[in-house]
Amino acid sequence: MAAYEPVLLRNKGVENSTALKVYESRGGYQALRKALKMNPEEVVEEVKRANLRGRGGAGFPAGVKWGFLPKDRTVTYLCVNSDESEPPTFSNRVLIEIDPHMLVEGTIITAYATRAQVAYIYMRVEFHEQFHILQKAIDEAYAAGYLGSKVLGSDFALECYIHRGAGAYVCGEETGLIESIEGKRGCPRIKPPFPAVEGLFYKPTVVNNVETLCNVPHIIERGADWFTGIGPQHSTGPKLFCISGPVNKPGCYEGAMDITVRDLIEREDMGGGMLPGKKVKGVLPGGVSVGILTADELDMKMDFQDPAKYGLLGLGTAAAVVIDQDTDMRSVLRNMARFYGTESCGQCTQCREGTAWMHTIARRIEADGGRIEDLDIIAETARSMGMMPGLSICGLSDGATYPLETIVKKFHSELEESIRAQSPTETDALAGAVGH
């Protein structure tokens, strides 16, 4: 196998990589100059031809999304999602830390392609250092003529602002993000209308995440054929993968989407194998919301297609959490349920009530007060929530149910054994302790 050439992380380890002069010396903003010589529609078509699929979780083709904008629009906004609330995802944060101008350039080219006049980069408030790094890059871009009126002497103008969010998971959903930028509580909107038609300030809006836009300069610079030559046909281009847990080298790595979960864990240039004395029990391969794999399912490819074969929601954010053999799956179940019970915005009854009750049941199971039927209740509740059954405004319910449902399904025997091992006294005392 040929060695993979880093694209998104090509400036990792380069001294002063966040500085404009360093970025320019390594070819930065040449793609913008090339894009400005093209028609906006040509830029859109090149991204469509590259089949750049969104890196934020859903995997929807970016160029196709841009094509949904009304032809007769007079005002267009671009929102860049840097909320990155999916545990334990940190690839967007890494990109901003080491190469903020790549994001700025990708934002400018995307705004030019979509005819956006204003771009808002929505960043979670916990990103303190990253905020200052990115703001400095934006200031440098203004001073160099890459932002503002008459970008590089052209007729194109773009204003770019960072909007800091309060750290709500649901604001990673594009309409929740839009509501937050407007100064409202970050609750997702009912769709349709979709943001492309009625988004920020009820004007046509494009929403893409950081990693997606960081790919755009490379597509324009090297061409769609280069991009589609990386990885499998249905999942092309460079991709960032995060890995955390009991591995030798937790971190953020880059590769094509033909690697497997096993590769991510074991390859010396990635996770470097498990820590001494540790063995894999399970892996949450795409952030917590996509569901769980067992130790027998590590040959799943980290692409947009293979996860469905393993009963998962999708690739998600490609952030793998490794769980070792010493971990009690009851604790994992409770931790997942707690997170989603806390982060539900509460608009939809089934999400508000369902996530809270599943957390209550998971707590009871962990506290040695579970009942065998609790496992069936969690599975049944999970199947009755979400956008896919048509019961919620956004996809938080689906993300909340997949980890719980797959843990109950794939680790049912372990959970059942733990429940059966409870003493009658513990079971009787805790079985009715709902909410305590």
CATH code of the domain in which 338 resides: 1.20.1440.230
313 CB burial (10 A radius; 0-12, 13-18, 19+): buried
pTM of the predicted protein model: 0.93
| Beta strands in 210-346, from DSSP E residues, in sequence order | 239-244, 251-255, 280-284, 293-294, 319-324
CATH number of the domain within which 303 lies? 3.10.20.600
Question: For all residues of the chain together, what is the average pLDDT?
Answer: 94
Which residues does 402 contact at the CB level (< 8 Å), separation at least 6?
289, 290, 291, 312, 313, 382
Whether residue 191 sits in one domain with residue 69: yes
Task: Give me the mean pLDDT over the 22-51 stretch.
Answer: 97
Whether residue 63 sits in one domain with residue 139: yes
Domain range for residue 415?
Answer: 329-430
pLDDT at 425: 55
Task: Give me the mean pLDDT over the 14-38 stretch.
Answer: 97
Please say which residue of 228, 262, 279 terminates a domain. 228
Chain-centre distance for alpha carbon 383:
23
Cα separation of 374 and 28, whole Å? Answer: 56
Cα separation of 107 and 126, whole Å? Answer: 22
Helices (H), 116-196: 128-143, 174-181
Closest CA to 392 of 124, 170, 165, 122: 170
Whether residue 155 sits in one domain with residue 34: yes
Give residue for tokens 């980890």.
403
Whether residue 60 sits in one domain with residue 30: yes
Which pLDDT tens digit goes with each residue over 180-236?
A: 999 999 999 999 999 999 999 999 999 999 999 999 999 999 999 999 999 999 999
Please say which residue of 324, 350, 382 terminates a domain. 324
Domain count for the chain: 3
